[in-house]
Chain A
């Protein structure tokens, strides 16, 4: 996206909780152009036809979390509107072998649609093969099995506006540190499409849109448990860091612990995905300046709609993105509801 940095910074400051229209910068796993999730919908006429079909769906997730619950809620509500019964829900616990087992087991119920996050392009290629051959409408969240082609093999990939998430993080951190200073960049040190795009978008935005901010420390992380020691080392070498970007909320909790242990109240943190401990620090005026989140419920709704459209023989875009939002201390309650469709935890309410 080529928005003016000044305008964007002002936007972040004034309207922390806004949705994004920066679709063009997030690129699909195979280089696909993004389609906004709002454009993926099932008409009432199609819904009426689907309701009589006795169709079924399976939700085969990678893990359990508030995010997955919100995606599930969005998908379930949309399926309910369309008269499609959810016959199986699973969690693979990030285990590629269990994901394959879950797919095989769910296929026993003969679902017409499968919504899933393939854990890994390589291992999931064989795992989804049976479902693909059975003609199930496959809608993937954020990842694509290697060698799969649209529309023959799958209905759609739905994901966050990943570039916009990283860009929002950069702009929020720039705003928090007054547009100048030095920052640390803690990125996900793994070949993972989602985090890689978000992390790189942060770096690109800082480098291109914020000339007075320098990234002086870069450190990859693969194990969130090591975040505190990574942050300690980073602060030891760069004691005057104005801010730190952390790839997602889990490791951000470790970075926050390191800052507290060092009695550092000035270095600002910006991270991605909602987390109660991180948000609690933010509403208490601590180190955390902002959290960038996705609209998980909308992701689920769009996935269900894409699957239903494929089932009805209608065209589906190959790559769909749902909006991102920036959550600050002032917008935490609205942000929680917007992202996860649940109330913010009690500790965050009324601040």
Chain B
């Protein structure tokens, strides 16, 4: 990929905006490249650090590196959805709760019905919640932060009520194979899902008019509207995509744990936001990076993994992880969002 997937694409919406955007972009383009490059270099530097420090402790084993990808797969999928939302100038805080509801619905459906029904149930619930958020934001003109803050609590409650706080086992081998423990050509299914989702997200984001419209909406919604982009529709769709990604993440969690629980996804909110920001997506819209989100998510997983393998105490792990994320975010956001 090119190092940055920058928000200047949004300026394509109108000639005037295009020119303005181009001027802006040309003035910061080299700096953006440098900044994003630093993030990727930072990822490599941390990888090399752990590889050297933990070379006797199994960090570089295929199993451990695969584990990092497997462990981060649901967060990566959620991050892809969030890139779309943030790039359009919106945010979704409810994807964790959506993930739990989707996983529970899928698990409940599969207690009596085939795997395919469970998949449709999980994805359908995710899409429906995303569409609900999107409709509130797009057509009722409510701020996405407040809408999704409310639905985060709402669906966290729904997740608890659905099963009366019980965990639901998933014993459907077809499902757990597809979304959890299975593999294809020796590659774990979760890796395939990660590759597929990142590829699809990247293509849609970078190589379709829809992706350009998302960026244009996030960069300058008024200009985008004037240029003919249906801004409410874009807002609706990005939040629906967020919901769909959360639904898929719920399926991956259910497959991986062979069970669903109301807490699934709840603790991912901050990790996913950090991964997306570290990966080069702007908090205030107009700039996003799917591959960057993948790298950000892997970085979070690698930090968890490496710090545990180093034998640090839990509190020390939290401190070091926080400092590294702070540094990475500072590098990613420096000057861009001012």
How many Å from the CB of B74 to the closest CB on chain A? 7
* Interface 0/1 of A51-66, CB less than 8 Å to B: 0000000000100100
Chain B positions within 8 Å of A86 at CB level: 311
State whether the Cβ of A233 lies closer than 8 Å to any Cβ in chain B: no
Which of B166, B257, B301, B311 has the most chain A CB atoms closer than 10 A to its own CB?
B257
Chain B positions within 8 Å of A210 at CB level: none
Q: Say whether, besides A64-B315, A89-B314, A122-B169, A102 and B308 are in contact (CB < 8 Å).
A: yes
Task: Tell which of B20-28, B54-62, B132-140 binds the partner.
Answer: B54-62
B58 touches A110 (CB 8 A): yes
State whether the Cβ of A43 lies closer than 8 Å to any Cβ in chain B: no
B63 touches A146 (CB 8 A): no
State whether the Cβ of A96 lies closer than 8 Å to any Cβ in chain B: yes
- Which single member of A106, A120, A125, A222 contacts B261 (CB below 8 Å)? A120
How many Å from the CB of B177 to the closest CB on chain A? 13
- Which single member of B167, B168, B256 contacts A100 (CB below 8 Å)? B256
Inter-chain CA distance A108–B304, complex, in Å, is 13
Q: Say whether, besides A98-B267, A122-B169, A191-B166, A108 and B261 are in contact (CB < 8 Å).
A: no
Chain A positions within 8 Å of B70 at CB level: 104
Count of inter-chain pairs, beta carbons less than 8 A? 100
B67 touches A94 (CB 8 A): no
State whether the Cβ of A24 lies closer than 8 Å to any Cβ in chain B: no
Which of A86, A110, A120, A121 has the most chain B CB atoms closer than 10 A to its own CB?
A120
Chain B positions within 8 Å of A146 at CB level: 169
- The residue in chain B whose Cβ has the minimal distance to the Cβ of A189 is B165
How many Å from the CB of A282 to the closest CB on chain B? 28
Inter-chain CA distance A77–B19, complex, in Å, is 69
Inter-chain CA distance A125–B312, complex, in Å, is 27
* Interface 0/1 of A75-103, CB less than 8 Å to B: 00000000000111111011111101110
Q: Say whether, besides A88-B309, A89-B313, A108 and B264 are in contact (CB < 8 Å).
A: no
State whether the Cβ of A18 lies closer than 8 Å to any Cβ in chain B: no
Chain A positions within 8 Å of B181 at CB level: 126
A108 touches B61 (CB 8 A): yes
Chain B positions within 8 Å of A125 at CB level: 169, 258-259
State whether the Cβ of B71 lies closer than 8 Å to any Cβ in chain A: yes
B71 touches A90 (CB 8 A): no
B169 touches A97 (CB 8 A): no
State whether the Cβ of A127 lies closer than 8 Å to any Cβ in chain B: yes
A108 touches B167 (CB 8 A): no
State whether the Cβ of B263 lies closer than 8 Å to any Cβ in chain A: yes
Inter-chain CA distance A127–B180, complex, in Å, is 12
State whether the Cβ of A238 lies closer than 8 Å to any Cβ in chain B: no
A191 touches B165 (CB 8 A): yes
Please give the number of chain B residues whose Cβ is less than 8 angstroms from any Cβ of chain A in the complex. Answer: 40
- Which single member of A87, A108, A127, A191 contacts B67 (CB below 8 Å)? A108
B257 touches A126 (CB 8 A): yes
Chain B positions within 8 Å of A150 at CB level: none
State whether the Cβ of A349 lies closer than 8 Å to any Cβ in chain B: no
State whether the Cβ of A109 lies closer than 8 Å to any Cβ in chain B: yes
- The residue in chain A whose Cβ has the minimal distance to the Cβ of B180 is A126
- Which single member of A93, A105, A109, A122 contacts B167 (CB below 8 Å)? A122
A122 touches B259 (CB 8 A): yes
Inter-chain CA distance A87–B56, complex, in Å, is 13
**Interface members, chain A 187-239 (any B CB < 8 Å):** 189-191, 222
B64 touches A87 (CB 8 A): no
A108 touches B253 (CB 8 A): no
State whether the Cβ of A123 lies closer than 8 Å to any Cβ in chain B: yes
Inter-chain CA distance A33–B59, complex, in Å, is 42
**In the complex, the 4 A-B pairs of residues with the closest C-beta atoms, listed nearest first:** A122-B167, A108-B58, A126-B258, A101-B71
Q: A89-B308, A97-B256, A97-B265 are in contact. List 13 more A-B contacts (CB 8 A).
A: A64-B315, A88-B308, A89-B313, A90-B314, A94-B263, A96-B259, A97-B257, A101-B301, A105-B64, A110-B58, A120-B259, A126-B181, A191-B164
**Chain B: residues with CB nearer than 8 A to chain A?**
57-59, 61, 63-64, 67, 70-71, 74, 160, 164-169, 181, 253, 256-259, 261, 263-267, 301, 304-305, 308-309, 311-315, 317
Interchain Cβ contacts under 8 Å between A and B, 28 examples: A64-B314, A89-B311, A94-B263, A96-B264, A98-B267, A100-B256, A101-B67, A101-B71, A104-B70, A104-B71, A106-B308, A108-B57, A108-B64, A108-B67, A108-B305, A109-B58, A109-B309, A120-B259, A120-B261, A121-B167, A122-B169, A122-B261, A123-B258, A125-B169, A125-B258, A126-B259, A189-B165, A222-B160
